[in-house]
């Protein structure tokens, strides 16, 4: 790679990634606001909302992964300057969102079955079920927003994603206040008001993204909404086939962390709290490589569309190296400032002491986590999603979770063993995904252009 080309790629990647990182942090803020305002009502309200959010998040992560397929599909068409294909994919993304809304909506009607299986505390079940029921009415707008969001990421319009997501945070606070406490003539809804406020925020986010996509000058050449067409089943199938494995990959990783969290719940309150502190801080710092990962997907996909093998490799490796350098800084912060970090979360010295130990483990997997998520992003740009899904299955459920369980229960490590298992799983995923990108990008060549008989 030439020095100038690498600098140019890093600059372009940074312009795409920075708004996405901020958007991820804003999304985290939306969830935090709901948690804080639920906690102000009562412990029961907080528990019910937390249960509802956790139930919803499991499915959300899978569907989010499916919609993420629109980023590489659009970016490849973008690199090829195929306006018709980009417009068709945008419409197909919206059709796909509408199509999945119906079965997902009715799936939420059976939430009691899931709560029975999970043995949710009876005292919070009615409120949790009511919260999920209310939230289900807004999910079609969330799916529509996600479809347009990832299309815009593939079109390099990441600032719009950032602005809309940031704007949602103060609106969420306002709507929560109105619906929870019954302001401006609204009925007092309590904790369920959080769900209706979220629905309204999702609706406004979708409308804002739709207006931007339809009217932005940078998208004028697409003419995406000039003529609304019937569903293009070939494109919809491509979205599902590309995105399905991505959704499963996301779910496999998150489920490992969730299961370890449940295992941690068997220890005392101080250990559980310390685990949550370390994991929360690690999750916040993870937003940076996650944003970079989505930008890498767009850059690699664009290079694929341009039919430029050198640019494909450069976009992937520059992005992975950039995320690795950022993760190194996060690692240093955990090693050099652990007491300062934990003091922000709690004044309890016993919890702080345990959390400092867990933070030292989190510092180790920061680099692995950054390297695996960005390598996965580079592979998404190549639309390589099935093998990464199998790598996730192997890394997190053949290596990660069994290692965590064995070390925690059959060695003197105790709860620290769970963190060692997470490190093992993430490190395995990082090594295999980077190897996969090296192998594919090293031999990738653009497919031969189709030449019709009439043109010969």
pLDDT along the chain (456 residues), means of 10: 83 94 90 81 78 78 92 95 93 95 85 76 82 91 96 95 96 94 88 93 97 92 82 94 94 88 80 84 90 96 94 96 94 92 85 91 92 96 95 97 95 93 96 97 77 37
Q: Whose CA is closest to 299, among 221, 245, 210, 374?
A: 374
End-to-end CA distance of the chain: 37
8 A C-beta contact, residue 76 and residue 300: no
8 A C-beta contact, residue 372 and residue 429: yes
Domain boundaries, the chain: 1-231, 245-444
Q: Report in angstroms the alpha-carbon separations of 277 from 295, 340, 342, 356.
A: 28, 12, 7, 9
pLDDT the model gives residue 266: 78
Place of tokens 């029961």: 44
Buried b (16+ CB within 10 A) or exposed e, 317-353: bbbbebbbebbeebbebbeeebeebbeebbebeebbe
**How buried is residue 19: exposed, middle or buried, by Cβ count under 10 Å (0-12/13-18/19+)?**
buried
Report how many helices (DSSP H) and strands (DSSP E) the chain contains, helices first.
17, 0
- What contacts 41, CB < 8 A, 6 or more positions away? 180, 190, 191
At 356-413, the pLDDT tens digits run 999 999 999 889 999 999 999 999 999 999 999 999 999 999 999 999 999 999 999 9
For helices 269-305 and 309-336, angle between their N-to-C axes, nearest 10 degrees: 160
Torsion of CA 329, 330, 333, 335, to 10 degrees: -100
Buried b (16+ CB within 10 A) or exposed e, 92-111: bbbbbbeebbeebeeebeeb
At 36-82, the pLDDT tens digits run 888 778 777 877 777 777 777 778 889 999 999 999 999 999 999 99
- CA–CA gap between residue 77 and residue 175 (Å, rounded): 39
pLDDT the model gives residue 2: 65
pLDDT the model gives residue 448: 67
pLDDT the model gives residue 254: 87
Structure tokens that stand for 327 in this block: 């993760």
- CA–CA gap between residue 108 and residue 52 (Å, rounded): 11
| pTM attached to this predicted model | 0.89
């Amino acid at each position: 790679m030439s020095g100038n080309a690498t600098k140019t790629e890093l600059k372009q990647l940074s312009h795409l990634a920075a708004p996405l990182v901020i958007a991820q942090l804003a999304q985290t803020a939306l969830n935090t606001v709901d948690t804080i305002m639920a906690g102000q009502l009562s412990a029961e309200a907080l528990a019910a909302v937390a249960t509802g959010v956790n139930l919803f998040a499991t499915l959300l992560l899978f569907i989010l992964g499916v919609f993420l397929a629109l980023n590489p599909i659009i970016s490849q068409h973008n690199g090829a300057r195929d306006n018709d294909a980009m417009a068709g994919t945008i419409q197909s993304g919206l059709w796909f969102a509408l199509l999945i809304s119906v079965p997902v909506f009715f799936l939420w009607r059976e939430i009691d079955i899931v709560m029975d299986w999970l043995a949710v505390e009876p005292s919070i079940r009615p409120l949790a079920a009511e919260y999920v029921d209310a939230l289900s009415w807004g999910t079609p707008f969330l799916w529509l927003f996600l479809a347009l969001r990832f299309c815009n990421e593939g079109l390099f319009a990441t600032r719009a994603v950032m602005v809309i997501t940031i704007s949602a945070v103060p609106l969420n606070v306002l709507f929560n206040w109105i619906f929870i406490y019954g302001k401006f003539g609204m009925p007092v809804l309590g904790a369920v008001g959080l769900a209706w406020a979220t629905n309204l925020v999702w609706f406004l986010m979708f409308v804002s993204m739709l207006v931007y996509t339809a009217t932005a000058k940078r998208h004028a050449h697409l003419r995406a909404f000039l003529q609304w067409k019937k569903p293009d089943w070939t494109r919809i199938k491509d979205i599902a086939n590309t995105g399905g494995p991505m959704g499963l990959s996301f779910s496999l990783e998150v489920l490992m962390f969730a299961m370890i969290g449940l295992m941690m719940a068997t220890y005392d309150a101080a250990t559980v709290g310390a685990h949550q502190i370390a994991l929360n801080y690690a999750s916040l710092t993870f937003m940076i490589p996650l944003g970079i990962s989505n930008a890498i997907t767009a850059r690699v996909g664009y290079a694929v569309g341009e039919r430029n093998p050198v640019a494909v490799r450069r976009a992937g490796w520059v992005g992975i190296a950039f995320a690795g350098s950022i993760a190194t800084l996060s690692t240093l912060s955990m090693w050099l400032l652990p007491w300062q970090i934990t003091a922000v979360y709690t004044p309890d010295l016993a919890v702080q002491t345990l959390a400092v130990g867990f933070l030292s483990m989190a510092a180790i997997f920061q680099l692995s986590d950054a390297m695996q998520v960005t390598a996965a992003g580079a592979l998404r740009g190549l639309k390589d999603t099935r093998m990464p899904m199998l790598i996730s299955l192997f890394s997190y459920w053949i290596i990660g979770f069994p290692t965590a369980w064995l070390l925690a229960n059959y060695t003197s490590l105790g709860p620290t063993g769970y963190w060692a298992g997470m490190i093992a799983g993430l490190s395995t995923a990082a090594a295999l995904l980077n190897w996969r990108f090296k192998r594919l990008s090293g031999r990738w060549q653009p497919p031969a252009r189709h030449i019709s008989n009439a043109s010969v």
